[in-house]
Every structure is written in C-alpha cells, then in structure tokens.
Structure 1
Amino acid sequence: MALPEFSLKDKVVLVTGAARGLGLVQAEALLEAGATVYALDRLPEPSPDFHTIQQHYPSFQYRQIDVRDVPGLHKVVEDIANNHNRLDGLIAAAGIQQETPALEYTPEDANRMFEVNITGVFMAAQAAAKQMVRFGKGGSIVLIGSMSGTVANRGLICPAYNASKAAVLQLARNLASEWGVHNIRVNTISPGYIVTAMVEALFETFPERRTDWATQNMLGRLSQPKEYRGAAVFLISDASSFMTGSDLRMDGGHSSW
C-alpha cells in the first residue's frame, strides 16, 4: 500500500448495527482495507446488501445480537476474540431514533432510547475493551455520535435522541481517559444528515425536509453513507494512532455557522 498506516490486514473488527445502513457501509470499507469483520445486529437477517458484500469478502460474518442483551453481547464478542486470538477494533453504530415532542415523551420511550443509544453503546465498548485488555494488543473503538450531540436540530423534534448522542460524546472521552493505559483508543464520529433508507421514508412524510436540511449546512446538500467510509478506516487504523478522546465531526459545516 502507498499508505501502509491505513492497512487493516490481520485486524479483527466488530461493527454493531451493521445489518444495513451506515454500519454496513463502514463494515465494507474495513473489509476493503484488509480487516476480518463481524457485523453484529439485532435483526434476524441482514439486508440483501450484506450478502452482496459477503460474495466478495467470504470472511465477512454476521452475528445476531441485541446490544441490550449484555450477557449475550459479551459472549458473542468473547467467542469471536477467542476464535482469532485477538480483537483489534469496534465501531459501535447500533442506534435508534424517535421523533416526539418533549411534552409528549413517555418514560418508557425515553428509557428505550437511552438503553440502546447510551447503555448499548457503552456495553459494546466494554465487551470489546475487555478482550483487547485480555490479549494485550490494544485496539481502537469508534462510537457513532451525531452533530445532534452538539447542537439542537432546527425543525427536528427529537430531544431524547439528541441527549443520547451528547452522552455518547462524553462517554467516549471518559473511556479514552481510562483505557489509554491499555493502548486502547476511543473516538467518535459525528455525522450530519445522512440519506439512508430510513431517512428516505421520513421524506415521504415530510418532503420539505429534503430541501430544508440541505440548506442548513455549508455544502448545501445532504450526505451519503459512503462518505463516512474513510473515517471508519482512518479511526480504526494506525493512521490515527495518536488520536483518542476526540470527535470527528462530519456535518458539512452544519454546526459551524
């Protein structure tokens, strides 16, 4: 490779929430960089795109697990690490969204949001870090945050989601401070608006958002999942070897106005 520090050859990396969407796209990038990748998700079956990628990368494997099932999550991660005698990386992309006015939010819905987006991310990072410590090789953990963890979204009513992403950013800083002694780096990626299948469905209900959201950043457009591929490889690889406790905000300048 012209830039060998970006190589993930012989690395074993987990991606939660990788049955589809952003997590799957980032998993594909890791595979292309040479990693052995496991997609972890709660869906019984991943999307057809998963199987298309697997045809090119037979080592790409899927494990069904809900990040809220903490004992099961730890077991899956430990089994993978034992199978390879190492664990080098994690991208924690599993998350949910719910648009509800704050005055109407139920505690059950709020707790479900926090259980997946905060506790689930925390426990995934914990499960991976335990194996990294056990094998003594260090590693890199990437938590998927959001620009919504830094700013409130104009016209998008999602107080619990935004609060959960703010918590992810702070969680990463604290994990980085604790695990640096083990040579484990912890960073976040904060995407802007991404046009995924879920967002396309949202545009059917709120078609004006396709235009309005694009005007709210400096590039005047919405992002595609593929635009976060390089960030995944950068943060998992040695190309970011002196980066930890940091947030890589990729929002088209939305929060820099």
Structure 2
Amino acid sequence: MEANPPRPPPAAPDAEDAALHHQKTAPTYLGTTKRLPEFNLVDKVVLVSGAGRGLGLVQAEALLEAGATVYALDRLPEPSPDFARVQKRAAEELGTSLSYRRIDVRDVEALNATVAEIADTHGRMDGLVAAAGIQQETPALEYTAKDCDTMMSVNVTGCFMTAQAVAKQMIRFGNGGSMVLIASMSASIANKGLICPAYNASKAAVLQLSRNLASEWGQYGIRVNTISPGYIVTEMVEALFVQYPERRTDWPTQNMLGRLSKPEEYRGAAAFLISDASSFMTGSDLRIDGGHSAW
C-alpha cells in the first residue's frame, strides 16, 4: 500500500484566508479576491469507497484536483491500471496524495479500523463519497434470496456502515463534514428493458438512508446528500453492450439529450457536494440523468 507522503508546511495564511478558516457559520465570500474558494478542499481528508476504478476513481481525481487528501477503499486486490496515473499526478502535479486501502464494505470491523487509522494519521476526517456497489440483472421471478441478500448487504448495509464509520470520526474530531452516497436514477424509476428489481430497490433505500442520516447527524455539522446518475458508459456497460447490442442505440433515446453519460460528467457534482459550495445542502438528491426520468 502506498504510504502517505509528507506534506510541506502550509504557507502563512493571508488576512482573507484567516478570516475564512474554521468558521462555525457559513462564510461570506462577497468581495473575495479568490476564485471560488468555497470549492477549495486543501487539507481536507476524504474517503471514496469503490474508487479502485470507474466512477469512484474519476470522482477521487476531481477531489484531488480541489486539493483534498484522498483514500480509495475497494475490495479489488489491486486497483485498475489508471489508478497509478491518478496517484502519480496527485503527488507530482497536485501536491497531495491518493492512497489505496483494500477493504470489503461488508467487513464492518475492518472497515471501522481502517477509517479510524486514517483519521488518526491526519487528526481529522472531512468527507466521504460512498460509491461502492454491485449490479445484477435478473428477472424478479428468478431472483434467489441469497442474491438479493448480497445485493442489499453491499449496496445498502455496506453504504450505511461506511457512512457510520466515517461519521464516528467526524464527530470525534468535531469539525463536521460532508458525505455523498451514490444512488441512481433507478431509485426513482423502473428501467425500461433493464431488469434489476433488487438493484433498483437497493438504490431507493440509499435515497431514504441519506435523508435519515442527514436528519440525525445535522446536529454535528455533518451533511449527507446523494447523487443519482443516469446510464454511464463504463467498461462494465461496454461489456453489456456486447451481450445486448441493441441497448447501445436504445438507451440514448430514453433521455432528453439523446446520448449516454461519461464518468467524467459527475466530477463537478462530487466536488460541489463535498466542499463548502454546498454548505446549506443536506438530505437532498442530485439527479443527473440527462432528463431520463423527467419525461
């Protein structure tokens, strides 16, 4: 596992930085000479589950660009080849770090120990993007109880326990924080031509989980929101198109933009929700689906 490189001591803050630093109330940026300072994540520690590849890794890179120190949590024995590129860029170009921790979100004891170790290392915990999840396409009449339990244990319980582990550290250090749980447009619709009853139910549960966590943890300054993506072209989806080639042409016709999304189109949403740019937003969902569910 990659060790976290030492960071250079921060420069002495100017008067504007000092005025904005560690304010307990929402900062006022009127007249600032900075460029959107509310998006600044320098010195923030953020965990991204499911960041060994795909959407999670893309969002991790966005957080690194905003200045955060990022830890990727994933059950993969090794992250994807692109992980090394992002890790190198973080250290050499962005002045921060990306580290990998292999963990299955269903292993609650190991999950809590890993999150606590990271928090102890930095003396803080500031953010979470919970992107770990699985998918299974099976008709409802053929779904087994075992497969359904596995879906829920990863997508719902795993998400819940990851958020809980992070919240414990945020509360311990008393600085609040922000969490983003990755839901789906499928939490609110039944996908035409995509038979995923347990997956869709699990993502609907994530929406409700987020609202409840937001209501409980707002008193600690912890915000909890969701992102609900539409269809995203990933390696997994490309493989699906080989099996079902008609979906490559059918799916784009189901939204208002007439195309499918790329993982990179969710970068800004993650940075927005983790940063102070969304400081008065909690218990809410950002549905980014090209208008698929707005017909």
TM over 0.5: yes
Is 1:38 aligned to residue 77 of structure 2? no
Q: Tell me the residue number matched to 1:248.
A: 286
2:140 to 73, 92, 102: 102
1:234 to 241, 254, 272: 272
Once residues 161 and 178 of structure 1 are traced to their aligned partners in structure 2, the CA distance between those partners, rounded to angstroms, is 26
User: In the alignment, residue 51 of structure 1 is paired with which amino acid?
Assistant: A
Once residues 61 and 2 of structure 1 are traced to their aligned partners in structure 2, the CA distance between those partners, rounded to angstroms, is 28
Once residues 32 and 171 of structure 1 are traced to their aligned partners in structure 2, the CA distance between those partners, rounded to angstroms, is 29
Is 1:6 aligned to residue 6 of structure 2? no
Once residues 180 and 165 of structure 2 are traced to their aligned partners in structure 1, the CA distance between those partners, rounded to angstroms, is 13
User: In the alignment, residue 57 of structure 2 is paired with which amino acid?
Assistant: L
Q: Tell me the residue number matched to 2:53.
A: 20
Q: CA deviation at 1:2?
A: 0.8
1:112 to 146, 150, 153: 150
User: In the alignment, residue 87 of structure 1 is paired with which amino acid?
Assistant: M
Q: CA deviation at 1:204?
A: 0.3
Q: CA deviation at 1:57?
A: 1.1
Mind listing any 5+ residue stretches in structure 2 that lack a counterpart?
1-33, 92-96
Q: Tell me the residue number matched to 2:100.
A: 62
1:224 to 251, 257, 262: 262
SS at match of 1:219: coil
Q: CA deviation at 1:140?
A: 0.1
Is 1:206 aligned to residue 239 of structure 2? no
User: In the alignment, residue 111 of structure 1 is paired with which amino acid?
Assistant: D
SS at match of 1:125: helix
Q: Tell me the residue number matched to 1:191.
A: 229
Once residues 42 and 204 of structure 1 are traced to their aligned partners in structure 2, the CA distance between those partners, rounded to angstroms, is 26
Give the number of aligned pairs: 257
Offset from partner CA, 1:58-105 (integer Å, 9 cap, x none): 311000000000000000000000000000000000000000000000
Structure with greater Cα Rg: 2
Mind listing any 5+ residue stretches in structure 1 that lack a counterpart?
none
Is 1:215 aligned to residue 248 of structure 2? no
SS at match of 2:254: coil
SS at match of 1:46: coil
- Of the two structures, which has the highest relative contact order with CA contacts closer than 8 Å and spacing of 6 or more? 1
2:165 to 109, 127, 133: 127
Q: Tell me the residue number matched to 2:16.
A: none
Q: CA deviation at 1:56?
A: 1.0
Once residues 39 and 51 of structure 2 are traced to their aligned partners in structure 1, the CA distance between those partners, rounded to angstroms, is 21
SS at match of 2:163: helix
User: Over aligned residues, Cα RMSD in angstroms?
Assistant: 0.5
Once residues 3 and 165 of structure 1 are traced to their aligned partners in structure 2, the CA distance between those partners, rounded to angstroms, is 32
Once residues 73 and 243 of structure 1 are traced to their aligned partners in structure 2, the CA distance between those partners, rounded to angstroms, is 27
SS at match of 1:137: coil
Offset from partner CA, 1:149-172 (integer Å, 9 cap, x none): 000000000000000000000000
Identity %: 76
User: In the alignment, residue 3 of structure 1 is paired with which amino acid?
Assistant: L
Q: CA deviation at 1:242?
A: 0.1
User: In the alignment, residue 216 of structure 2 is paired with which amino acid?
Assistant: E
2:110 to 72, 78, 81: 72
Once residues 81 and 55 of structure 1 are traced to their aligned partners in structure 2, the CA distance between those partners, rounded to angstroms, is 23
SS at match of 1:179: helix
Once residues 186 and 152 of structure 2 are traced to their aligned partners in structure 1, the CA distance between those partners, rounded to angstroms, is 15
SS at match of 2:232: coil
The aligned runs of 1:43-54 (5 Å cut-off) are 43-54=76-87
Once residues 56 and 126 of structure 1 are traced to their aligned partners in structure 2, the CA distance between those partners, rounded to angstroms, is 30
Q: CA deviation at 1:252?
A: 0.3
Once residues 2 and 60 of structure 1 are traced to their aligned partners in structure 2, the CA distance between those partners, rounded to angstroms, is 24
TM-score by length of 1: 0.99
Offset from partner CA, 1:19-71 (integer Å, 9 cap, x none): 00000000000000000000000001000000011111131100000000000
Once residues 90 and 77 of structure 2 are traced to their aligned partners in structure 1, the CA distance between those partners, rounded to angstroms, is 21
